[in-house]
Homo-oligomer: A and B are copies of this chain.
Amino acid sequence: MVDTFEDLGFAKLDMSRSERTGMPETVYCAGKSKEQLAGILKAFQDKNCPVLGTRCSPEQASFVEANGLDVEYDAVSKTVVLTGGKKTELNGRVAVCCGGTADIPVAEEAARTAAFFGAEVERHFDVGVAGIHRLFAKLDSIREADVVIAVAGMEGALAGVVAGLVKTPVIAVPTSVGYGASFNGLAPLLTMLNSCAEGVAVVNIDNGFGAAVLACRILRGLQKHD
């Protein structure tokens, strides 16, 4: 394996990452100018590589579309997908659960990322522990997934409660939803890290993308064994 990259001056595109890590390319759009983003996407489109962009602002998306790139934009999750190239398939299912309506943007980022990588995705939104019967109503379905992504802000208790009820890996995503002593997501982050239930690991606050990538790495392992 030879690691290669294409040097755009402001960015070194990691053209061998897909080979090295087994995942299609992705771009973190925040902090890039819209011209930089368009340049990066263009380079991948020229090589017929599908790309997922996350944290893509409506302004960036409009600019990219206006520059003739063939993308689909989802405003809730702020993801943009450059279609084309061969699609990857993963043989497995990811259940994406979230605590409340306000967590949906992060949960949707996770769901769309997992789908882009080829996973079957099942959404269970608004199943927070304050009304725990809503979670129990979906439990049979959640238990059948290969991996569970649990997204929650405020107190963030969802991940621990779920992990105590299923046998699969649980990836916890704290969100910055809340106010006051949530300290922009610190509260659910700490809750999830201190989960008494076994089988939980945590990604950065609002990092639905990272949770989905990990979930898909897990699914790919399954695939080897099919």
Enumerate chain A interface residues (CB-CB to B < 8 A): 3, 5, 9-12, 14, 16-17, 20-23, 26, 28, 30-32, 36, 55, 99-102, 104, 125-134, 137, 146-147, 154-157, 160-161, 163-169, 171-172, 174, 176-207, 210-211, 213-214, 217-218, 220-226
Closest to A197 in B: B130
Q: Do B188 and A183 have beta carbons less than 8 Å apart?
A: no
Q: Do B185 and A200 have beta carbons less than 8 Å apart?
A: no
Given contact pairs A134-B5, A222-B221, A190 touches B187 in the complex (Cβ within 8 A) = yes
Q: Do A201 and B211 have beta carbons less than 8 Å apart?
A: yes
Please tell me how many copies of the chain the complex holds.
8
Complex contacts, A226 vs chain B, CB 8 Å = 225
In the A-B complex, list the 10 residue pairs whose CB atoms are closest, starting with the nearest. Answer: A180-B205, A31-B102, A201-B201, A3-B133, A157-B157, A187-B190, A130-B197, A130-B196, A225-B225, A22-B167
